[in-house]
Structure 1
Amino acid sequence: MSKDIRDETATPAAAPGHRRHRAPRRPVAALLALLFFFGPALAFVLGVRPEAIENRPLADLPSPTEGWDFFPAFSTWSTDHLPLRAQAVRFNAELSQRVFGEAPSYGTDPGGPATGIPSGDSSATQTDGAPAAAQYPRVLEGQDGWLYFGPDVAEPCQATRSLDEVFHRVDRLRSAVEASGRTFVVTVAPDKSTMVAGSLPDTYLGQDCATERRTAFWETLRATPPTGYLDLRGPLEAAQEATGDPIYRPTDTHWGPRGAAVYTEQLATRLDSALMDGTRFVETGPTSQPGDLADMLGLPHDDPVEGVELRRDGVTPVGRDSLEVSELSDRPDRVLNETNGAPLFQPRTVLLGDSFTNASTAMIGQFFADLTLLHNEVAADSPQTVADALAESDVVVYEIVERVFIADGGPLLDDASLSAIESTLAANPR
């Protein structure tokens, strides 16, 4: 037997027979290689387009004028816009589930704050045994099919500012707005891990440091809330208790329609309690919505939810077909409404929000005669865009998700943003 093997690999007579045995594999390997390298291009030609499968929009194509930042930004853009990427992720997830009985692990970038969060100062440090460069998962698999967004844990554990510093910066923003003669409202959308903590895994990386910072944060808000603060957690918990059902969705980061209704009602009431006149929240029965966390794992899933609609007598949109507003983007989006029935909030308002406001677009715009929507993270790249939008407003609303507020308050509270806002509003008082 040993001689035969040596003869196959070493003698001319044996080699042809060996090649004939392996020959059929080469075309298969070549075909697989061609599919790997050219499959996405072929899919694009056939009309397949990239999908947003993470909890953010697809990255924009960077400009070469960005210098060295162009290369990592281009890598992110090319990955996001690769055709068939979503299908590949789903295939990988299904294979992992079948072979290992669990979804694949997709980690966050090790070290530093989570992607999209500016570094700020380093006055806050990690408080438990999880290493500073820990590979936090992008999605936490909880109990009974519940999924949680990994940054709910990663961002509190990798916070770059102390809570005192975050609240100081909120007060600095509020002072700039109010000193210019404008009204300021700040509200925090609670993390799903705060609102539905009972379905979190029994243990997970960063459990101690995230819990400690989250607890300190909410205790501070209850004891000494910043001027202009609008509490959402209390009303959300009350609605959740009244119905007996979680107000957030099992495989999505955000609240469902009932949570959007609570957010909208609380904001409208804070601005003017008379705005609720002629307003009805109508139960529309069971429906479903796709979960963004399930998509991130490559396992698409629709969450069952109880449908809720907002109806305001006599309110009609101006210059658009629907009262629903578009999702927030990096450009100010001004929407106008008129009414012959339910009252509208007349002062010109700018709402700086995030994905929780995006989860409420079917309801949030119907209370305003003149509303400008802008994503609060625009401040990271274009502080002056935010400052100019504020200068054209009478009322400023800042909605920020808990995990980002806990980490550093968001790019709106960076020095560059605050300086631009302070100087611009001071030059344009109301």
Structure 2
Amino acid sequence: MTFENTHHFAKAMDRQDPLRSFRSKFHIPVVNGKTALYFTGNSLGLQPKTTKRFLLEELEDWAALGVEGHVHARRPWMYYHKLTKKALASVVGAKPTEVVAMNQLTVNLHLMLISFYTPTPKRYKIITESGAFSSDQYAFESQLKFHGLDPDKALVELKPRDGEYTLRTDDILAAIETHRDELALVIFGGVQYYTGQFFDIARITQAGKHAGAVVGFDLAHAVGNVPLSLHKDDVDFAVWCSYKYLNSGPGAIAGAFIHERHAKNFSGPRLAGWWGQVEKERFQMLKGFKPMEGIDGWQLSNVPIFQSAAHLAALEIFQDAGMKAVRTKSILLTGYLEFLLKEMDVSEKYFTLLTPSSPDERGAQLSLLMKKDGKKIFKALTKAGAIVDWREPDVIRLAPAPLYNSFEDVFQLGLLFKKALK
């Protein structure tokens, strides 16, 4: 695609966009009386217009039915977790029996680590990326301490080479090989939150499994953003939140994946809860935990209906759009933003892109390392009606979400950014 820095080009791209109608399915914030340029879908996605209806329907059923809503609501609450399985499976490349919406991301991460991080005196190390999101860092640290291990010795955090901003896949694979005899777990973010790097899940998984380790991923910034094939890639487990690219609302219900080869025959440790009990015996209140087959056996509590209703509304949009179309537009949209940014600062006087230029190594995000006046430029953009993200100490993150961002949005952001640089 040959991009052009003109309003005419941006509008022409929008006219040709197969997903152009999806923008109207979302509420877009207004700043100073004008529709905002919203580029923080990697932090909190926008609200689908159908969310209110889904929530009101649950409130109506609660008012009309009370406790009977568990079995007689239009979407019976007892089985609500099953309603999102098909859509989640299509988004992450899994079977419906391998995915479930439950809990919050860090809760799910701890549940997975309890089951899949089982260190021995010989195999106890965890390999991950340096500078992982705080929830991951704290979870790894506390799990290591829970097992009586020293995080400084057991946690291997990989850093980019000197003068580089992202990890090379070959360096990740080399580190796995170096530590293979002591390695218990390989776990990375699917997309690195700070740099926007999309890790090679298939190759990392293959290398980790070859080394005899368990392999998992935190997909908080990847789900609904980049193509995923968790089942095919043989990933052991994964967790994610749903309030970013999945647009399911602030603090929304999260999700998890466990490959079917574990879920059908799992004899390792797990933390049990009553909603994971075999469904036909759940209300018999019997002693002795009998987990449901598949990942449903890792559920702890009954489903939060209002969160799940918002989640269901958002996932219906993904089913209508399809991840293939979302990804196709994402590559073009992010590529157009990169083109405009590089054209306005050819000599990299003001900023350097941290995010890889290859579409295969990134999602809908560009991270700019600001060399001067970063905070001033960020504040100028905010004042002008652009909602973007500042990460200390000196990074601006821009996330053009393909379901509701347009090429004209990107063009207008480019104009504001150029003005802010001056």
Question: TM (normalized to structure 2)?
Answer: 0.28
* Greater radius of gyration (CA): 1
Higher RCO, 1 vs 2 (CA within 8 Å, ≥6 residues apart)? 2
